[in-house]
Amino acid sequence: MTLPVPAFVLLLAQRGFSQYFRQHFLDTTFKGLYKANAFDMALLIPYFVVLILLAGYGLHRYTLVYLYYKKKKNKTVEPAEKFANLPRSSTSNCSTTRPTKLWMWRGLWSSTMQRRDIG
């Protein structure tokens, strides 16, 4: 038996909101039946921390997918124009040579190293 929506509102209005709140949220029928202990908290706290972190990660992924589909129409296939002459980079003027062997990488190649006999 289902009541139509206006009948439900009328039934709720007869008893009042305070009665509804008392009956559903301040009811002490099961008080004292269960008490949380340290073991329960040791399981529940990390569980909810991980749950919140995963929910945040899922929201982040959802946002990325939403933004991808929103901006997909703005993609560029070819560049608008190509450069005729690019400036030289500052690293192309270096006159250093790069070590090619493993012993060169270890510092044995350095010209500033001098062999000294310890004795």
Residue 15 contacts by C-beta under 8 Å, 6 or more apart in sequence?
none
What is the spatial distance between Cα 45 and Cα 52, in angstroms, rounded to a whole number? 11
- Residue 32 backbone class (left: φ over 0; alpha: ψ -120 to 50; beta: rest): left
Residue listed under structure tokens 């209005």? 13
Residue type at position 86 = L
Its pTM stands at: 0.44
**Residues 53, 61 contacting (CB under 8 angstroms):** no
Note down pLDDT in tens along the chain; length 119 residues: 565 666 666 555 567 888 888 888 888 888 888 889 999 999 999 999 999 999 999 999 999 999 999 999 988 788 778 888 877 776 655 555 665 666 555 555 555 555 555 64
What is the spatial distance between Cα 37 and Cα 40, in angstroms, rounded to a whole number? 5
Vertex 31: Cα angle to 13 and 44 (nearest 5):
105
